[in-house]
Amino acid sequence: MRGPFDVARQLDVLTGRGHVVSDIGRWLAAGGLAVAITSGAIAPAGLASAEPCPDVQVIFARGTFEASGLGAVGHAFTDSLRAKLPEKTVEVHPVAYPASLDFATAADGVVDASQEITNTVSRCPNTDIVLGGYSQGAAVAAYVTADAVPEGYILPPGITGPMPAAAAEHVAAVALFGKPSNEFLRMIHNSAPPLTVGSRYAGKTVDECLPEDPVCSPAGRDRGAHGAYPSSGLTDRAADYVVSKLM
């Protein structure tokens, strides 16, 4: 088991600076806060209701330390998606999970997102599902798509295995923003399974990563880039991609 100083030394390799492990949280949180300031309120809007079935159901997992709801990146993405689909009803489900520095609790988000997909397929089989996430939430979304449980990995409570193959047919698109690289993931939780989008979803996934973002790009050095997905236009671009999959 590596101690916080071991993690800090490895983080120094990525960033060129010496930071204690708690700076990882401030790093991830600062990106979300910066986006929230520029994009306005981040309280969830248009929450999914049982009736009637929407044309599109967005299931989105927020980033670390963002308040419960969609998070700023999730709001920017879904607002753009709604604007591009004026003739369709678009409802959202903010994934319920702690979004804390305890990365093991990301499993709570995998459980919630998987259950919401299953419930939507059962209740509204003609609804197109869009799965998404930002930062730690992008890891949650990616895990939901997994083809198989990694060998030797013990599943946490609430997860019995991968999503049923039939569920993938109802997921029209997956949108990921600032998904942690496996190098970054090993630093914050060295027992976490690697992040790989499953084969049933890979062909309909947009995985946005700014080259300067050290969370998703091993060559990145600009911590501020992690919160720049709306201002860089990448939430808009991802919405365009999703719309192309819905048509």
Cβ neighbours for 179, distance < 8 A, ≥ 6 positions apart: 133, 135, 138, 139, 142, 195, 207, 209, 216
Tell how far CA 194 is from the center of its chain.
15
Report the C-alpha dihedral over residues 118, 120, 123, 125, rounded to 10 degrees.
-100
DSSP state of 56: E
* Residue (of 35, 149, 133, 63) closest to 92 by Cα position: 133
Cβ neighbours for 122, distance < 8 A, ≥ 6 positions apart: none
Residues with catalytic function: 135, 213, 226
Cβ neighbours for 181, distance < 8 A, ≥ 6 positions apart: 215, 216, 217, 218
Other beta carbons within 10 angstroms of residue 198's beta carbon come to 19
